[in-house]
Amino acid sequence: MARRNESPSIDPSVVEMLEVARERGIETAFDRAEAMRPCPIGHDGACCKNCSMGPCRLVGKHDRGICGATRETVAARNLARMIAAGASAHSDHGRDMALTLLAAAEGEAPDYTVRDANKVLEVAELLDVPTEGRETMEIAKDVAEAALAQFGQQKGEILYLKRAPRKRQEVWRRAGIAPRGIDREVVEIMHRTHVGNDQWYDSILMAGLRTALSDGWGGSMLSTDITDILFGSPVPLRAKVNMGMLSEDEVNIVVHGHEPVLSEMILVAVNDPEMIEYAKSKGAKGVNLTGICCTANETLMRQGVPTVGNFLSQELAIVTGAIELMIVDIQCIMQALAPVADQFHTILVTTSPKAHIEGATHVEFDEHRALEIAKEIVKMGIDNFPNRKETHIPKEVSHLVAGFSHEYINYALGGFYRGSFRPLNDAVIQGRLRGVAGVVGCNNVRTRHDYSHEYITRELIKNDVLVVMTGCGAIACSKSGLLSPEAAELAGPGLREICEAVGMPPVLHVGSCVDNTRILTVLSQMATEGGLGEDIADIPVVGFAPEWMSEKAISIGCYFVGSGVYTIFGSESPVANSSIVDRFISEGWEERIGGKLEFIPDPEEAVRRALEHIDKKRAALGLVEYDPTLFGQSGDWLMRKFIEAMEAGIPVSPYSAKIPTPV
Q: What is the nearest approach in angstroms of ligand XCC to the Cβ of residue 396?
A: 19
Q: Which of residues 187 and 334 has its CB atom nearest to ligand XCC in the complex? A: 334
Q: What is the nearest approach in angstroms of ligand XCC to the Cβ of residue 442?
A: 3
**DSSP letter for each residue of 541-608:** EEEEETT--SHHHHHHHHHHHHTT-EEEESSS-TTTT-HHHHHIIIIIHHHHHS-EEEE---HHHHHH
CA nearest neighbour of 308 among 447, 479, 441: 479
Q: Are strands 47-48 and 287-292 parallel, antiparallel or unpaired?
A: unpaired
Q: What is the nearest approach in angstroms of ligand XCC to the Cβ of residue 332?
A: 3
Contact 560, 438 (CB under 8 A): yes
Q: Which of residues 323 and 439 has its CB atom nearest to ligand XCC in the complex? A: 439
Q: What is the nearest approach in angstroms of ligand XCC to the Cβ of residue 26?
A: 21
Q: Which of residues 357 and 488 has its CB atom nearest to ligand XCC in the complex? A: 357
What does the DSSP 8-state code read for residue 628?
G
Q: Which of residues 11 and 464 has its CB atom nearest to ligand XCC in the complex? A: 11
Q: Which of residues 479 and 617 has its CB atom nearest to ligand XCC in the complex? A: 479
Q: Which of residues 75 and 472 has its CB atom nearest to ligand XCC in the complex? A: 472
Name residue 350's amino acid.
T
Q: What is the nearest approach in angstroms of ligand XCC to the Cβ of residue 93?
A: 10
Contact 412, 502 (CB under 8 A): yes
Q: Where are the alpha helices (DSSP H) in 398-507?
A: 406-414, 422-430, 451-462, 471-479, 493-502
What does the DSSP 8-state code read for residue 207?
H
| CA–CA dist 388, 284 (Å, integer) | 11
Contact partners, residue 33, CB within 8 Å, separation at least 6: 1, 445, 446
| CA–CA dist 127, 136 (Å, integer) | 15
Q: Which of residues 293 and 347 has its CB atom nearest to ligand XCC in the complex? A: 293
Q: What is the nearest approach in angstroms of ligand XCC to the Cβ of residue 41?
A: 24
Q: Which of residues 257 and 564 has its CB atom nearest to ligand XCC in the complex? A: 257
Q: Which of residues 382 and 445 has its CB atom nearest to ligand XCC in the complex? A: 445
Q: Which of residues 465 and 553 has its CB atom nearest to ligand XCC in the complex? A: 553
Q: What is the nearest approach in angstroms of ligand XCC to the Cβ of residue 449?
A: 12
Per-residue H/E/C for 635-655: CCHHHHHHHHHHHCCCCCCCC
Q: What is the nearest approach in angstroms of ligand XCC to the Cβ of residue 515?
A: 9
Q: What is the nearest approach in angstroms of ligand XCC to the Cβ of residue 220?
A: 11
Contact partners, residue 628, CB within 8 Å, separation at least 6: 463, 464, 492, 493, 494
Q: What is the nearest approach in angstroms of ligand XCC to the Cβ of residue 441?
A: 5
CB environment 32-71: b (16+ within 10 A), e (fewer): ebeeeeeeeeebbbbbbebeeebebbbeeeeeebeeebbb
Residue 416 burial (CB count, 10 A)? 7
| CA–CA dist 418, 433 (Å, integer) | 21
What is residue 320's three-state secondary structure? coil
Binding site for ligand XCC (CB under 6 A): 293-294, 310-311, 332, 441-442, 471-472, 512-513, 550, 552-553
- Count of H-run helices and E-run strands, the chain: 27, 16
Q: Which of residues 122 and 551 has its CB atom nearest to ligand XCC in the complex? A: 551
Q: Are strands 398-402 and 237-241 parallel, antiparallel or unpaired?
A: antiparallel
> Distances in Å between the alpha carbon of 211 and those of 75, 78, 330, 470?
17, 14, 21, 21
Q: What is the nearest approach in angstroms of ligand XCC to the Cβ of residue 183?
A: 21
Q: What is the nearest approach in angstroms of ligand XCC to the Cβ of residue 137?
A: 31
Q: Which of residues 204 and 561 has its CB atom nearest to ligand XCC in the complex? A: 561
Q: Are strands 541-545 and 435-439 parallel, antiparallel or unpaired?
A: parallel
